[in-house]
């Protein structure tokens, strides 16, 4: 998950992922490393954080993650990422 230190949406996304059983989240702090921000923008086409990947799948931001969860798609994606 691409994130910054003071991002309420990053915190919310992390809380949702942990509630769904994710034990460890790899955070890429783009506020500490401008090159990683450029990397994020190239990979996702977006400037905002969080930008969430589950395995190789780009989920999007916090709102996208919540929508995926409400649609019933998050748990199957998480299960597939851990197998």
Provide the CATH number for the domain around residue 22: 3.40.30.10
Task: Specify the number of domains making up the chain.
Answer: 1
**Residue 15 burial class via C-beta count within 10 angstroms: exposed 0-12, middle 13-18, buried 19 and up:** exposed
* For range 21-29, the mean pLDDT: 96
Predicted local distance difference test score (pLDDT) of residue 80: 87
Mean pLDDT of all residues in the chain?
A: 95
Share of the chain above pLDDT 70, in %: 96
State pLDDT tens for residues 36-75: 999 999 999 999 999 999 999 999 999 999 999 999 999 9
Domain, as residue range, for 26: 2-62
Q: Is residue 80 part of a domain?
A: no
Cα–Cα distance measured from residue 58 to residue 46, given in angstroms and rounded to the nearest whole number: 11
Q: Is residue 53 part of a domain?
A: yes
Cα–Cα distance measured from residue 20 to residue 40, given in angstroms and rounded to the nearest whole number: 25
């Amino acid at each position: 998950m691409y994130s910054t230190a003071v991002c309420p949406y990053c915190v919310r996304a992390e809380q949702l992922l942990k509630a769904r059983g994710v034990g460890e989240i790899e955070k890429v702090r783009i506020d500490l490393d401008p090159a990683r921000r450029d990397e994020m923008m190239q990979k996702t086409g977006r400037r905002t954080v969080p930008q969430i990947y589950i395995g190789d799948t780009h989920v999007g931001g916090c709102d996208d993650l919540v929508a995926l969860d409400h649609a019933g798609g998050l748990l199957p994606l998480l299960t597939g990422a851990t197998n």
